[in-house]
Amino acid sequence: MSPMEEGKELKELNTFGISAKCREFKRISSLEEAMDFFKESHATPLLILGGGSNILLRNDYDGIVVWNDIKGISIVEEDDASVLIKANAGENWHQFVMHCIDHGFAGIENLSLIPGKVGASPMQNIGAYGVEVKEVIEAVEAVSIKGGELRIFSNEECEFDYRSSVFKTSLKGKFFITSVSFRLQKKPTFKTSYGAIQDQLEIMGIAETELSIKAISDAVIAIRSSKLPDPAKIGNSGSFFKNPIVSAEVYQIMQQKHSNIPAYEAKDGKFKLAAGWLIEQAGWKGYREGDYGVHDKQALVLVNHGKASGEEIYQLSEKIIGSIQDKFGITLEREVNIIGSGETN
């Protein structure tokens, strides 16, 4: 079992590149180590950290940061039509997607280049270009943070919703995800109608007869790379805000005032508005003050140009939320988890 570290710097473990320290740091690299660690009683607060791609540290963390570094990918069962593949939570998400594409396993190619680790995928029900990970998750293995008991969650028990799951709602902070099992297909159903995938495929010269999960992945990677900054070059956590979901009545009012507003049909007759468009219309795209700001190509992304503090970025998000509320009457919600200063959303 790896030892505890004191006062560890977390800058390299969060994609915003925020300089912050924790009181203690614990690296967990196996299911058994997770069960043993959580069997013990821990008086100080715990922060579970995977890829650090969906958090904003407002200040130092006065507790134990538990880093999920459990690796491994294996096939649980397989037949002519599909494969059940188990990925441990510490695996890099994009590398896992590439592994599946290399083996001809379809279903997550539209989720290429999403930052973070496998363990975060069910927690926030990651989604992009017309696909949500809930569509392919069969089971989630997790260890209770109080007691260390192992539990297997079925897809239904995960209570998936838009960018959410039971792990972000009623069971938030109660389980440490150790692996996720995905049901992927050997005969793909291509999804190219969402966003600019079809246009990108045409730019790449991919004819319909040449379509493959690799081609779709390449198209998604090209689109995301053109719009979203690489965290290795400029600190960010990808989409900072959720796309707001509104009633049909609110959408009609918005459309009457703004005929070009991008929107997509959601469930129960509601509509999903593009948060990035709202933020851009409010004049925030490319905004910069000191070392923090809004990306100049994608208004949905807040960035750290070098030495910004987590508090500065948080206060910027507050200003943007207030601005959108004033201009459109729409309340934006953060997709990123805020850590510190009593804020946990």
Digit-coded pLDDT (tens) for 217-261? 999 999 999 888 999 899 999 899 999 999 999 999 999 999 999
- Single pTM value for the model: 0.86
Q: What percent of the chain has pLDDT over 90?
A: 87
CATH entry, 235-339, from 3.40.50.10800, 3.10.20.30, 3.30.450.40, 3.90.78.10: 3.90.78.10
Local confidence band at 179 (pLDDT 50, 70, 90 cut-offs): very high
Instruction: Give residue 344's pLDDT.
Output: 46
DSSP string computed for 99-159: HHHHTT-BS-GGGTT--SBTTHHHHTT-EETTEEGGGTEEEEEEEETTT--EEEEETGGGT
Is the separation of the CB atoms in 23 and 62 below 8 Å?
yes
**Catalytic residue numbers, as ranges:** 163, 239, 335
**17 three-class SS:** coil
The type of residue at 116 is G
Residues, the chain, total? Answer: 345
All structural domains of the chain with their residue ranges = 73-227, 235-339
184: burial class by Cβ within 10 Å (0-12, 13-18, 19+)?
A: buried
Class of domain 73-227: alpha beta
